[in-house]
Structure 1
Amino acid sequence: MSVEILDGATIVHFLEDEEAFNSSIGNRFAQLDTNNDGLLSYEEMLKELQGLRVFETHYGIDVESDPGELARVYQSLFVQFDHNLNGAVDLEEFKKETKQMMLAMADGMGFLPVQMVLEEDSILKLAVEREYNNVAA
């Protein structure tokens, strides 16, 4: 993990760079597709969904969560990705929903810098690195 400074523009610029975004999404999808069938099952996506820690923290502090409620939240998030409701997420669905979520995050952040702790292999970390490399060049 690392502490990074980013804003909505960092995310938007990353999404506009189709090569960088598509590459990162393809890599993340391949990591999640543990059985290499070209689809993500709920079980394959569960670890990624749990990594979002939607209800496990409150302002960054771990809190006790109802396991049943968490299961419903994760199932609901999975359905957000499964656009055709066939019980699996293909690369295009994954790419489209990830992009929508990132745009919503960028919109919510606005264009004032925010300091965040990011996982080293996260898509947001890749967006920050891309922005840093472009500024340095």
Structure 2
Amino acid sequence: MSVEVLDSATIVNFVEDEEAFNISIRDRFVHLDTDRDGLLSYTELLKELESLRLFETHFGIDVKTDPKELAQVYNSLFVQFDHDSNGTVDLEEFKAEMKRMMLAMANGMGFLPVQMVLEEGSFLKKAVEHESTKLAA
């Protein structure tokens, strides 16, 4: 983890750089596709969703959340990714939803820079790294 400064433009620039964004999406998809069938099952995507720890922490302190509530949230998120409702998520569905989510984050962030703690390998961290390489060039 590292503390980084980013703003909406950092995220938008990363998403709009199709080559950089597509490489990151493909790498993450391959990592999640543990059975190597070219599709993400609910179980495979669930591992990624659980790693986000949407409800399990409150300011860094674990809190008890009803497992039924968590399952409902994770199921709803999976449905958002599974655009054709066939029970799996292909690369294009994953890319489209990640793009939508990243742009929604950028939109909600506004134009003022914010400091965030980012996980290594996360899409936001990749956006910051992408911006840094552009500034260094």
Please indicate the TM-score interval, normalised by the length of the shorter structure.
over 0.9
3-state SS of paired residue (2:9): helix
Unaligned stretches of 5+ in structure 2?
none
Say which is worse superposed, 44-53 or 68-77, in terms of deviation. Answer: 44-53
Which residue of structure 2 aligns with residue 78 of structure 1? 78
Which residue of structure 2 aligns with residue 48 of structure 1? 48
- How many residue pairs match? The answer is 137
The Cα offsets for residues 1-49 of structure 1, whole Å up to 9 and x where unpaired, read as 1111101110000011000000000000000000110000000011111
Output the amino acid matched with 2:68.
Answer: G
Which residue of structure 1 aligns with residue 116 of structure 2? 116
Which residue of structure 1 aligns with residue 2 of structure 2? 2
CA RMSD of aligned residues (A): 1.0
Post-superposition offset of 1:68: 0.8
For 1:1-137, list aligned pairs within 5 A: 1-137=1-137
Within 1, Cα distance between the matches of 2:59 and 2:110? 19
3-state SS of paired residue (1:80): helix
Unaligned stretches of 5+ in structure 1?
none
Output the amino acid matched with 1:57.
Answer: T
Within 1, Cα distance between the matches of 2:101 and 2:18? 16
TM-score, L = length of structure 2: 0.96
Output the amino acid matched with 2:120.
Answer: E
Within 2, Cα distance between the matches of 1:133 and 1:80? 32
Q: Percent identity?
A: 73
Tell me which stretches of 4 or more aligned residues in structure 1 moved more than 6 Å.
none
Within 1, Cα distance between the matches of 2:91 and 2:51? 19
Within 1, Cα distance between the matches of 2:128 and 2:51? 19
3-state SS of paired residue (2:121): coil
Output the amino acid matched with 2:104.
Answer: A
Within 1, Cα distance between the matches of 2:48 and 2:118? 14
